[in-house]
Structures are given as structure tokens and as C-alpha cells.
Structure 1
Amino acid sequence: MRIMYVQLKTGHDTDRGPAWIACVQFTRTWRTAYVHGRTLRRVSGTAGANFDSNFYDVDTGEEFWVSGPKLDGTDGRYSNQKPLVDDDAREAYEAFLAGAPLPGRENG
């Protein structure tokens, strides 16, 4: 389980979609992510890939940006929109902002 920044891209202007700091479960290969009851698959190649997304929902086709959170809180790439922090991620995220490593990232 990793604490990640997740933003919905489909149907929203650049970096204007809803965003979360959430606990995300990845498969061993990091090609599939599970968050908020969704199964997200990594965008591969350029066929159908939006430059602004790196995962898509396998059921709905909606596109998402998933990345590690930034220490300075500027997670949106092109806006200063603040993400919602999920309750189950809050303690680890707040510790991260205070200087602690994220769970699973203690060694880099």
C-alpha cells in the first residue's frame, strides 16, 4: 500500500479534476492500481494515451494521474488545487509533510 496523489483527468480542464491523497495498492509490476474501489491500469505506449494521464479506469475508461505526493504540497502539475486527504491516509501524509518518509519509501 502506498500513499499517492490521485487526480481524475477525464471531463476536466488541465489539473482541475478532483484529487485525493489516498492509499493505493499496486500489483507487483505496478501496471495495475486499486484505489477507491476502482481498478486502474497503467497507460502504455501512445495509442489512445492522453499526455496528462498515466492510468485509466478499466471499467469506465476515465483517465487519472497517479504519482507520489510532493513534500511542498504542490501535487497538481499545473494548478495549486489542494487534494482531499482520505482518512486512512491522513496520519502518514501529515507525518510525511513534517519530514517522515512515506510508508514503503523508508529507503528511498
Structure 2
Amino acid sequence: MFVQLKTGYNTDRGPSWIGWVDFSKTWSTAYFRGRTLRRAGKMLDANFYDVRTNEEFWISGPKRDRTDTRYGPCNPEIEPQAVEIYHAFLEGAPLPGRENG
């Protein structure tokens, strides 16, 4: 998944990561780097917030053309355990769990 911190940064300038995100059964809660993130409906530039700090995040699937942010350049940190699968994805392989669409 592509994850970007939105709180405290100008549009699309916050730090970002490519890595594994675990979701609850209902997809309303995400777990990333020790954080518990809840889905939020009425935020302007974010779709999740940290339940402890209230920091806002954008979480989405990665894009092959690396245009994961809307306006700015994006150089996400790629988590070590995701490097091999992410590079295969960039070369055309499906993401795990998405082999059939």
C-alpha cells in the first residue's frame, strides 16, 4: 500500500511509504508501523486518522506510474519487506491478493 502522512505538511509534501498495511475485516481500521488508523469520511485530503495522535493519512494502492500523490513529486520510502514485490509490481506483476483483478 501507499501511505502518506498529511498532517503538518503542505499538499502532498508529507513523508510517504510503500509497505504492508493490515486491515480489519470491515476495512474501517488499518494497522501500519505500530499505528492504529481509522477510516474517516469527511476529511479534505485524508482518508484515515491515527486514533492516538489524530494525525491524518492517505492510504491507497500503489500506482505503476509512481504518481501516488495528486500534485507533488513522490519519493516514498519502500519498506525492506516490500521491495521485491513492489519492484515486480512496477514491472507488471499483480499485487498479492490481486492476481484476478
TM-score by length of 1: 0.90
Q: Unaligned stretches of 5+ in structure 1?
A: none
Q: Unaligned stretches of 5+ in structure 2?
A: none
How far apart, CA to CA, are the structure 2 residues paired with 1:57 and 1:69?
Answer: 21
How far apart, CA to CA, are the structure 1 residues paired with 2:32 and 2:62?
Answer: 15
Select the residue among 24, 28, 32 that pairs with 1:35. Answer: 32
Tell me the equivalent position of 1:94. Answer: 87
Kindly report which structure 2 residues correspond to 1:1-108, keeping only aligned pairs within 5 A, or say none: 4-44=1-41, 46=42, 49=43, 51-108=44-101
Runs of 4+ in structure 1 off by over 6 angstroms are none
How far apart, CA to CA, are the structure 2 residues paired with 1:38 and 1:20?
Answer: 14
Measured after TM superposition, the shift of residue 80 of structure 1 is: 1.4
Partner letter of residue 32 of structure 1? T
Q: Say how many residue pairs are matched.
A: 101
The answer (yes or no) to whether the contact 2:66–2:74 under 8 Å persists in 1 is no
Partner letter of residue 104 of structure 1? G
Measured after TM superposition, the shift of residue 28 of structure 1 is: 1.2
How far apart, CA to CA, are the structure 2 residues paired with 1:60 and 1:105?
Answer: 32
Deviations 1:37-86 (A, max 9, x none): 10000003x3xx2x100000001000000000001111111111211100
Two-structure CA RMSD over aligned residues (Å): 0.8
Q: Identical aligned pairs, as a percentage?
A: 63
